[in-house]
């Protein structure tokens, strides 16, 4: 995490006319997140502009999406200040502030009395996160997908992710190719199966919807008292996509028995009890909006999103760790091996997963 330089901090505080002290916060892999300690508290984020190259359009997406969500939450008698993000504008009415060194900062209301988790503590809690993501999907069902700027084009285009991996292998920028060939070869066995969802989306066999696209457990906040998943955060990748992306990515992260960077692969398994809880919660919210073809592809989505994320970690390792934040030198390789183990286990359990899905549709 970059250490803050005092000049920028002063500049940011003047731009937003808020005084605070900052401390690094959370476990995100992309932006630099800080808790802005004041009364009330805020979240201050330095937007990763090497990934999100158009912060203005990114923030316009978030402003439009949260405005829509506030409307639905209010109409349903909920509390929009707790159930969605609130963007704080600068005193000039801007959605973020660009400091003189070219860094871009945004501020959200801090959603207090909540917890963020990297592994679910029990199946019920995971089911609650599924309801939160399912509800999020529902609330955006009538949001015009074509009005959204694509913050990361082809974000879940799995075959293009495979092409990127092959290119990284060929370029071998960091000289790590020889070390990863076994992992690469094991991944490539899943290449064809993991192209099926993209093919179906492109052919129109499954519908394009407005989706979150980054539904890992730490992107939902749980109320400390009720323990319910109350707020879906990290809206940078809300874009047109498939509900299978949201469902599959949550399972990748939360139905694993271990953290995403657990190095002891004996601890890494795909837990069918958690799979069942998530499926139950997600489908209870989505209801009959889901199509036959989407239902058929639910189990495969867990494999596909795990493969895709795993090969992204491997690609980043080959490219010299330029995308995901790392905390030690071979962390991306550890993550890639971890996700591969999970792919292998999911692949062996696809038939059992189908039977579980059938119980809830
Ligand atoms: P990244 O894109 O880097 O993953 P996130 O937007 O997910 O960044 O934020 C990182 C972490 O900060 C989250 O996982 C969550 O724990 C915390 N967080 C983010 N926004 C808020 C908020 N408005 N209120 C409380 N906690 C938040
Ligand atoms: C990143 O931003 P964060 O940490 O919630 C990444 C996701 C990956 C995830 C893996 C914009 O999510 O796509 O699945 O790491 N987000 C982006 O942990 O690339
Ligand atoms: Mg996040």
- Token couple for 344: 């292998």
Is 48 close to ligand 1, i.e. is its CB under 6 Å away?
Answer: no
| CA 158 / ligand 2 centre spacing (Å) | 15
| Helix (H/G/I), strand (E/B), else coil: 232 | strand
* Residues 81-103 pLDDT 10s: 999 999 999 999 999 999 999 99
| CA 29 / ligand 2 centre spacing (Å) | 6
- Give me the long-range contacts of 257-264 (CB less than 8 A, separation at least 24): 258/119, 258/338, 259/118, 259/119, 260/118, 260/335, 260/338, 260/339, 261/331, 261/334, 261/335, 261/338, 262/334, 262/338, 263/334, 263/337, 263/338
- Nearest-atom number in ligand 2 for the CA of 309 is 14
What is d(CA 359, CA 256) in angstroms, rounded to the nearest whole number?
21
pLDDT < 50 regions, the chain: 1
- Nearest-atom number in ligand 1 for the CA of 32 is 3
* Residues 138-179 pLDDT 10s: 999 999 999 999 999 999 999 999 999 999 999 999 999 999
Is 66 close to ligand 1, i.e. is its CB under 6 Å away?
Answer: no
- Nearest-atom number in ligand 2 for the CA of 27 is 4
Partners of 39 in beta bridges: none
Could you give the count of Cα atoms lying within 13 Å of 63 in the half-sphere of its Cβ? 14
Any idea what DSSP says for residue 270?
A: B
| Contact predicate 194/304, CB 8 Å | yes
Partners of 88 in beta bridges: 107
| Contact predicate 220/231, CB 8 Å | yes
Give phi and psi for 2, each to the nearest 5. -60, 140
In this prediction, residue 2 carries a pLDDT of 53
């Amino acid at each position: 995490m970059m250490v803050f330089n005092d000049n920028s901090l002063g500049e940011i505080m003047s731009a937003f006319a808020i005084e605070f002290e900052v401390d690094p916060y959370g476990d995100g892999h992309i932006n630099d997140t800080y808790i802005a300690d004041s009364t009330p508290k805020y979240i201050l984020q330095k937007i990763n502009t090497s990934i999100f190259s158009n912060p203005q359009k990114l923030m316009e997406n978030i402003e439009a999406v949260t405005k829509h969500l506030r409307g639905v939450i209010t109409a349903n008698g909920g509390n929009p200040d707790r159930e969605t993000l609130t963007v704080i504008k600068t005193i000039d009415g801007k959605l973020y502030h660009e400091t003189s060194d070219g860094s871009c900062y945004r501020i959200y209301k801090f959603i207090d009395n909540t917890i963020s988790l990297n592994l679910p503590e029990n199946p019920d809690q995971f089911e609650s996160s599924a309801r939160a993501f399912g509800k999020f999907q529902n609330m955006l069902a009538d949001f015009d997908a074509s009005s959204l700027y694509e913050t990361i084009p082809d974000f879940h285009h799995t075959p293009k992710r495979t092409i990127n991996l092959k290119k990284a292998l060929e370029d071998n920028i960091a000289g790590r190719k020889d070390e990863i060939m076994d992992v690469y070869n094991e991944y490539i066995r899943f290449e064809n199966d993991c192209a099926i969802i993209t093919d179906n989306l492109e052919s129109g066999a499954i519908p394009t919807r407005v989706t979150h696209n980054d539904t890992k457990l730490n992107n939902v906040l749980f109320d400390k008292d009720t323990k319910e998943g109350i707020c879906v955060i990290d809206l940078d990748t809300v874009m047109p996509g498939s509900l299978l992306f949201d469902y599959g990515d949550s399972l990748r992260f939360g139905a694993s028995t271990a953290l995403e960077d657990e190095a002891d692969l004996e601890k890494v398994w795909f837990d069918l009890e958690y799979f069942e809880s998530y499926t139950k919660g997600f489908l209870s919210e989505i209801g009959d909006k889901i199509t036959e073809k989407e239902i058929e592809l639910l189990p495969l989505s867990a494999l596909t999103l795990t493969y895709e994320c795993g090969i992204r970690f491997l690609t980043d390792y080959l490219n010299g760790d330029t995308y995901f934040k790392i905390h030690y030198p071979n962390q991306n390789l550890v993550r890639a091996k971890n996700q591969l183990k999970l792919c292998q286990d999911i692949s062996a359990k696809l038939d059992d997963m189908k039977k579980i899905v059938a119980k809830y549709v």
